[in-house]
Amino acid sequence: MELLVASAVGMMTACGVYLTLRKRTFPVIVGLALLSYAVNVFIFASGRLAIGLPAIITSDAAGYTDPLTQALVLTAIVISFGMTALIVMMALGAFLETGDDYIGMEKDTLPQPTPPQEGKK
Amino acid sequence: MNHWIIAPVILPALLAPFIVLVMRHDLSLQRIFSTAGTAVLTAISLVLLYTASTNPPEVYFLGNWPAPFGIVLVLDRLSAMMIALTAVLALLVQLYAIGTNWDAHGKHFHALFQFQLMGICGAFLTGDAFNLFVFFEVLLIASYGLMIHGGGANRLKAGVQYVAYNLVGSTLFLFALASIYAVTGTLNMADLAVKVAELPAGDAALMRVGAVLLLLVFAVKGALVPLQFWLPATYSFAPGPVAALFAVMTKVGAYAVIRVYTLIFPPDTPSTGLLFADILLPAAIVTLIIGAIGVMGATGLARMVAFAAIGSMGTLFIAVAQFTPDALTAAFYYLVHSTLATAVLFLVVDLVQDRRGNDSLRAAAPPFGQHGLIAALFFGGTIAMAGMPPLSGFLGKLLVLDATRGPDMAMIWTAILVTSLITIIGFSRAGSQVFWKAHATTTTQARPEGKAEPLAFAVVFALLFALAALTILAGPVTDWLADTSAELFDRAAYINAVLPTAKE
């Protein structure tokens, strides 16, 4: 299970980093979402992996799983979800204002040639 | 337990939703309540500053849960100083925004402004690493809204870059916190300080990874090379008063570095040692150089000031990287100075942009209204920023130079002195382009009208006056700051205040 979780975190981080470095806003946002998934699993794993154990210590339980990381990951999920929603809205606003979803400023050279199948012109 | 400690977080946190819900259609009511709120915040922060300078560190246990199980807020001299600086700056910037009508260019300026203050004050007060993350997010999400206030294609695009960059930063922050939690099992800063000191040797590697990731996060916030790329576009496209308020946001990064690397990972920690100083110093010197080159090469006034802000962060981090009491005293003095100086310059640039129509340094434009007055304010601001006598920048740089005597002295002194010269040349070039060459233009265009904005000019004068006061009172101020850095190095007092039962 450790191998599975570790490789899942690694894969998601690698894909997230790759997508975040793209030039258009949509892949960047997907990349950021992947990065936040990766970090959520990572936080969860930082309280040690335990299967089928309660989060609250009772006298008859065989052991317990760390409840604090579950609280932390919940906070992290809420925040990253809100942030992703916000960047989607901002990217949409920038797209509607400028007519393209290129992430650089206008002075930077646009990637040439522009794919003809996207947009009207 | 002193309940006033949580007031700087609670007051804006309650005021902001109140402004959104009750008075979203009435700008003048928003202005009255928001300004009154910030004024009360300033008063509270000054009281806290007085309390902190007479008492040892005070702790506020949220919900009365004992540390390390509950979240704690800690008021010591450093956090009181940062909150007072934030509140004073926020009050002035808010008056400027009202005086120039910036807050009418879009909706919810005042609500976002209060949320921003809540995040900044919380980040300065908290004694819990995960809570620090939460307050970082609060201040960031408000800053996203403030940054795109007023709208416009360029501002939105710069805003998307800024948000994307900071989301990556937040992800890194979570990775860092999770690694630290995995090793120590706690996120309370005082408890971390105890646990890290007695860490078994086998866990040192993971601890180092977490600690360096944390440094990267704070470097993003503090615009340290190579993570400074978000700053020029963000600051130059943000509305003027917002950019002036953001002057204190980079300082949140510097504050976090100072707090974490004096309290949790002091230089004598076996697992990390002087690792941070070794990473921080070269990065800070490169930051300073990049800032100076940017000031020289910028094509617009706002961008130039943004690079000057990067350069000032470089100087600040050079002092921080020494991790000695003297150097931290110098760093604090320079921190207060550079926050005020950056704010002055951003406000002056906003005045220029408003009257001239642009801030381009490429083409000369005819003189605009109130030309002479704004030129004088720009002159004052640049003298402070570049570190020329008689304003506090000069004293700040002298203190930094004096505190960095040692093996790296030649490199540091060369970097600071040469970049100061380059910055002075860059500022003079910009000033002559905008203010002097304007008289030589022979266009027949009508001279842009000046605007009587007494409040806005009064704010800029007040900030310059604050810089002058910081210069005149440099002696008492540095004495107070020396006590502050002495308190930071007295870790036992902080740890005992938070964890009364701890051994240390």
State yes or no: pLDDT of B157 exceeds 50: yes
Q: What is the structure's pLDDT at B66?
A: 86
**Residue B179 to residue B161: CA distance in whole angstroms:** 27
CA distance B210 to chain A (A): 12
Q: How confident is the model at residue B427 (pLDDT cuts 50, 70, 90)?
A: very high
Longest Cα–Cα distance of chain A, Å, equals: 70
Q: What is the structure's pLDDT at A120?
A: 43
Q: What is the structure's pLDDT at A121?
A: 41
Residues 6+ apart with CB under 8 A from B282: none
Q: B residues 202-261 near A, CB within 8 Å?
A: 233
Q: How confident is the model at residue B504 (pLDDT cuts 50, 70, 90)?
A: very low
Q: What is the structure's pLDDT at B445?
A: 65
CA distance A90 to chain B (A): 6
Mean pLDDT for the stretch of residues B21-28: 89
B146 inside domain: no
A61-65, B15-19, B448-452: which has the highest mean pLDDT?
B15-19
Reported as type and span, the H/E element at residue B75 is strand B72-75
CA distance A117 to chain B (A): 23
Reported as type and span, the H/E element at residue B470 is helix B454-472
Mean pLDDT for the stretch of residues B483-504: 83
**Residue B21 to residue B372: CA distance in whole angstroms:** 43
**Residue B364 to residue B320: CA distance in whole angstroms:** 40
3-state secondary structure of B457: helix
Q: What is the structure's pLDDT at B447?
A: 67
Chain B residue with the nearest C-alpha to that of A27: B164
Q: How confident is the model at residue B197 (pLDDT cuts 50, 70, 90)?
A: confident
Which of B164, B174, B187 is nearest residue A28 as measured by Cβ atoms?
Answer: B164
Q: What is the structure's pLDDT at B354?
A: 87
CA distance A5 to chain B (A): 15
Cβ–Cβ contacts within 10 Å for residue A18, how many?
A: 12
Which of B171, B187, B233 is nearest residue A35 as measured by Cβ atoms?
Answer: B171
State yes or no: pLDDT of B16 exceeds 70: yes
pLDDT tens digits along B377-406: 999 999 999 988 889 999 999 999 999 988
Q: What is the structure's pLDDT at B444?
A: 63
Q: What is the pTM of this model?
A: 0.92
Q: B residues 314-373 near A, CB within 8 Å?
A: none
Taking an 8 Å cut-off on Cβ atoms, the answer to whether B144 and A90 are in contact is yes
Cα within 13 Å of Cα(B492), Cβ side: 2
**Residues B271 and B380: beta-carbon distance below 8 Å:** no
Q: At what angle do helices B77-99 and B325-356 cross, to 10 degrees?
A: 10
Q: What percent of chain B has pLDDT over 70?
A: 98
Chain A residue numbers with beta carbons less than 8 Å from the beta carbon of B158 are 105
**Residues B287 and B314: beta-carbon distance below 8 Å:** yes
Which of B141, B152, B160 is nearest residue A25 as measured by Cβ atoms?
Answer: B160
Best A17, A39, A75 member to test B by mutation, with max B CBs in 10 Å, is A39
For residue B412 the two structure tokens come to: 């540091």
Q: What is the structure's pLDDT at B309?
A: 94
B19, B123, B320, B196: CA torsion to nearest 10:
-170
B316 inside domain: yes
Q: What is the structure's pLDDT at B451?
A: 78
**Residue B459 to residue B95: CA distance in whole angstroms:** 7
Mean pLDDT for the stretch of residues B150-162: 87
Q: What percent of chain A has pLDDT over 70?
A: 87
Q: What is the structure's pLDDT at B225?
A: 83
Q: How confident is the model at residue B294 (pLDDT cuts 50, 70, 90)?
A: very high
For residue A118 the two structure tokens come to: 């996207």
Average pLDDT, chain B: 90
pLDDT tens digits along A37-84: 999 999 999 888 888 888 777 777 778 888 889 899 999 999 999 999
pLDDT tens digits along B158-167: 899 899 999 9
**Residue B248 to residue B85: CA distance in whole angstroms:** 8
Q: A residues 30-89 near B, CB within 8 Å?
A: 32, 35-36, 38-40, 42-43, 45-48, 68-69, 72, 75-76, 79-80, 82-84, 86-87
Taking an 8 Å cut-off on Cβ atoms, the answer to whether B177 and A20 are in contact is no
HEC profile of B3-61: HHHHHHHHHHHHHHHHHHHHCCCCHHHHHHHHHHHHHHHHHHHHHHHHHHHHCCCEEEE
Q: What is the structure's pLDDT at B332?
A: 95
**Residues B399 and B330: beta-carbon distance below 8 Å:** yes
pLDDT tens digits along B86-125: 999 999 999 999 999 898 888 889 999 999 999 999 999 9
3-state secondary structure of A72: helix
B473 inside domain: yes
Taking an 8 Å cut-off on Cβ atoms, the answer to whether A83 and B167 are in contact is yes
How many domains in chain B?
1
Chain B residue numbers with beta carbons less than 8 Å from the beta carbon of A20 are 164, 168
Chain A residue numbers with beta carbons less than 8 Å from the beta carbon of B159 are 90, 94
Best B132, B157, B186, B360 member to test A by mutation, with max A CBs in 10 Å, is B157
For residue B332 the two structure tokens come to: 């604090």
DSSP assignments along B275-323, one per residue: HHHHHHHHHHHHHHHHHHHHHHH-SBHHHHHHHHHHHHHHHHHHHHTT-
Q: What is the structure's pLDDT at A119?
A: 45
Q: What is the structure's pLDDT at A66?
A: 86
B425 inside domain: yes
Best B163, B174, B214 member to test A by mutation, with max A CBs in 10 Å, is B174
Q: Does B151 touch chain A (CB under 8 A)?
A: yes
**Residues B376 and B457: beta-carbon distance below 8 Å:** no
State yes or no: pLDDT of B270 exceeds 80: no
B340 inside domain: yes
pLDDT tens digits along B30-61: 999 999 999 999 999 999 999 999 988 999 99
State yes or no: pLDDT of A100 exceeds 50: yes
B341 inside domain: yes
Task: Quote the DSSP letter at residue B358.
Answer: -
Q: What is the structure's pLDDT at A62?
A: 78
**Residue B453 to residue B456: CA distance in whole angstroms:** 5
Mean pLDDT for the stretch of residues B417-440: 91
Q: How many helices (H) and strands (E) does chain B have?
A: 20, 2
B335 inside domain: yes
Q: At what angle do helices B27-54 and B7-22 cross, to 10 degrees?
A: 180
Chain B residue with the nearest C-alpha to that of A48: B182
B59 inside domain: no
**Residue B60 to residue B1: CA distance in whole angstroms:** 6
Q: What percent of chain A has pLDDT over 90?
A: 46
Burial class, A21, CB count within 10 angstroms (exposed 0-12 / middle 13-18 / buried 19+): exposed
Give the ipTM: 0.86
Closest CA to B485 of B354, B332, B301: B332
Closest CA to B254 of B124, B343, B164, B378: B124
Domain enclosing residue B482, as ranges: 274-490
State yes or no: pLDDT of B194 exceeds 80: yes
**Residues B75 and B484: beta-carbon distance below 8 Å:** no
Q: Does B179 touch chain A (CB under 8 A)?
A: yes
Taking an 8 Å cut-off on Cβ atoms, the answer to whether A43 and B177 are in contact is yes
